[in-house]
């Protein structure tokens, strides 16, 4: 159990039958009345964000989220297969659970599988990936003054906006959280 006075960003709690991660918290001590803790909570299962206030003495059970490093093997229809590299156990997850998490992940790369009480609810790709560009239009000379970008398709099939000087066949570094081009490799 964790009291509301000990809340910190990133802590996961069980509250009203759901599992939430604390995104923001603020201890408020008004001039009149009792102090309280104002929080912004993100539901880790469906991604919804709610705002709640707690008395500093209120207690919530702390939720244990397991993150396990696994290797993404392949996609088979709308099932995605992963393997634990230590025990060689394999699991298959459906497209609803995976969502857009594997948009920038190639086969045989490592990802983190997040689960709560044995139920997988999310996949965390690596923060940065290096992918080759399979299709993009050639850039035009003289268009570089504005910092313009053009669409490009990488080897996983995802679309990324890249600067005009990047050509087809080049390997680029991408931030998977935002889907933005970072640099050439």
Q: What is the DSSP string of 96-162?
A: HHHTTTTTT--TT-EEEEEEETTEEEEEE--SEEEEEEEEEPPP-TTGGGGT-EEEEEETTS-EEEE
Q: Please say whether the beta carbons of 111 and 82 come within 8 A.
A: yes
- Taking only the tens place, the pLDDT of each residue in 65-120 is 888 899 999 888 888 899 988 898 888 888 877 878 888 888 888 999 888 887 88
- For the entire predicted model, the pTM comes to 0.70
Q: What is the DSSP string of 51-108?
A: EEEE-TT-EEPBP-EEEEEEEEEEEETTEEEEE-TTT--EEEEEHHHHTTTTTT--TT
Evaluate if residue 143 carries a pLDDT over 60.
Answer: no
Residue 129's Cβ-count burial label (10 Å; 0-12, 13-18, 19+) is buried
**Structural domains in the chain (count):** 3
Last residue of a domain, one of 34, 60, 86: 60
pLDDT computed for residue 115 by the predictor = 84
Last residue of a domain, one of 74, 96, 124: 124
CATH number of the structural domain spanning residue 95: 2.40.50.140
Please tell me whether residues 103 and 142 are part of one structural domain. Answer: no
Please tell me whether residues 119 and 70 are part of one structural domain. Answer: yes
- Taking only the tens place, the pLDDT of each residue in 10-36 is 788 888 888 888 888 999 888 888 899
Please tell me whether residues 52 and 72 are part of one structural domain. Answer: no
Please tell me whether residues 9 and 56 are part of one structural domain. Answer: yes
Please tell me whether residues 26 and 52 are part of one structural domain. Answer: yes
Last residue of a domain, one of 108, 124, 140: 124
Domain that holds residue 157: 128-184
pLDDT band at 38 (very low <50, low <70, confident <90, very high): very high
């Amino acid at each position: 159990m964790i009291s509301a006075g000990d809340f910190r960003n990133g802590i996961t709690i069980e509250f009203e039958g759901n599992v939430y991660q604390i995104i923001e918290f603020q201890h408020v001590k008004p001039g009149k009345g009792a102090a309280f803790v104002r929080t912004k909570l993100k539901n880790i299962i469906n991604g919804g964000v709610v705002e709640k206030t707690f008395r500093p003495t209120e207690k919530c059970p702390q939720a244990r989220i397991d993150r396990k490093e696994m290797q993404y093997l392949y996609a088979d229809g709308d099932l995605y297969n992963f393997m634990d590299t230590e025990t060689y156990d394999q699991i298959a997850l459906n497209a609803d659970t995976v969502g857009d998490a594997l948009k920038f992940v190639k086969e045989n790369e490592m990802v983190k599988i997040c689960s709560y009480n044995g139920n997988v609810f999310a996949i965390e790709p690596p923060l940065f990936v290096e992918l080759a560009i399979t299709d993009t239009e050639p850039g035009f000379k003289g268009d570089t003054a504005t910092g313009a970008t053009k669409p490009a398709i990488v080897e996983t099939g995802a679309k990324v906006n890249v600067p005009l000087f990047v050509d087809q066949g080049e390997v680029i570094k991408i931030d998977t959280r935002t889907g933005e081009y970072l640099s050439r490799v």
